[in-house]
Amino acid sequence: MQRTVSVAAEEEQAALRTEFDFELPRGYLGDDGAVHRSGTMRLATARDELLPLFDAKVQEHAAWTTVVLLGRVITRLGSLPKVDAGVVERMYASDVAFLQDFYRRINAEGHTRIAITCPACEHRFTADLAGGRLGES
């Protein structure tokens, strides 16, 4: 009986996905000249969403909330040793916009899929935002 509970608990834990991989549209240009595109974002906790409110930059200008929050939940970006608000604030705006949408999808909707309708033929399909770059499979 004990083994049955253990197996069920293991299966439930495996089903709860807490980290999601992504590919930035442009990529972060590191100090060494390397472009970092692939990364990992974890699910946010209540603490992640509350702590930026106490940050001095956020208190001066609410727009910094996104930068501080993304700096907390991005756990990996390319080969960078550390990702924090300083890295996020030096990203291209298109990459930050991508990460904001990615954050919303994994935390509010629980997945990285997006519904798309082709403007030419009106065919509907689903794409995964966490997938590879355009043209890759």
pLDDT confidence of 137, banded at 50, 70, 90?
A: very low
Whether 52 is covered by a domain: the verdict is yes
Whether 10 is covered by a domain: the verdict is no
Of 23, 27, 44, 45, whose CA–CA distance to 35 is shortest?
Answer: 27
Whether 38 is covered by a domain: the verdict is yes
Whether 119 is covered by a domain: the verdict is yes
Q: Are 38 and 22 in contact (CB under 8 A)?
A: yes
pLDDT tens per residue, range 10-54: 555 556 789 999 999 999 999 989 999 999 999 999 999 998 888
Whether 4 is covered by a domain: the verdict is no
Whether 110 is covered by a domain: the verdict is yes
Whether 6 is covered by a domain: the verdict is no
Q: How far apart are CA 124 and CA 69, in angstroms?
A: 33
Helix, strand, coil content of the chain in percent (nearest 5)? 45, 25, 30
Q: How many domains does the chain have?
A: 1
Between 27-31, 87-91, 116-120, 128-132, the lowest mean confidence (pLDDT) is in 128-132
Range(s) of the domain holding residue 71: 19-128
What pTM, to 2 d.p., does this model score?
0.70
Write out the two tokens for 30: 């590191």
